[in-house]
């Protein structure tokens, strides 16, 4: 099983507060590399998920608070750096 498939399976099973959070988490798992890290441009992710940018930003913050991702927003670019920590375990 590839790391991307493992992340996608873990994201699918992870408990999320809303369906929007689940959709964003699945998109992150799809884009994450072998180390479960991903750089997120909210505008690009909004286009991918057909969600408004504000909902994407809110979901990223919600997933961070829930402990499913370790995320940081860069003030200069507005992009996020995230590491998936689904269930407290990183593969």
Dihedral sign of CA atoms 12, 72, 36, 28 in order = positive
The whole-number pLDDT of residue 5 equals: 81
The whole-number pLDDT of residue 35 equals: 84
Q: How far apart are CA 12 and CA 91, in angstroms?
A: 15
Distance of CA 47 to the CA centre of its chain: 15
pTM of the model: 0.87
Residue ranges in the chain modelled with pLDDT below 50: 91
Q: What domains, with CATH codes, occur in the chain?
A: 3-88 (1.10.10.10)
């Amino acid at each position: 099983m590839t790391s991307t498939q493992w992340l996608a399976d873990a994201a699918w099973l992870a408990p999320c507060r809303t369906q929007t959070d689940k959709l964003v988490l699945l998109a992150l798992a799809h884009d994450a590399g072998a180390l479960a890290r991903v750089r997120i441009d909210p505008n690009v992710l909004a286009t991918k998920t057909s969600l408004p940018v504000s909902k994407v930003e809110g979901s990223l913050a919600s997933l961070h608070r829930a402990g499913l991702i370790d995320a940081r927003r860069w003030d200069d670019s507005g992009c996020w750096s995230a590491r998936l920590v689904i269930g407290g375990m990183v593969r």
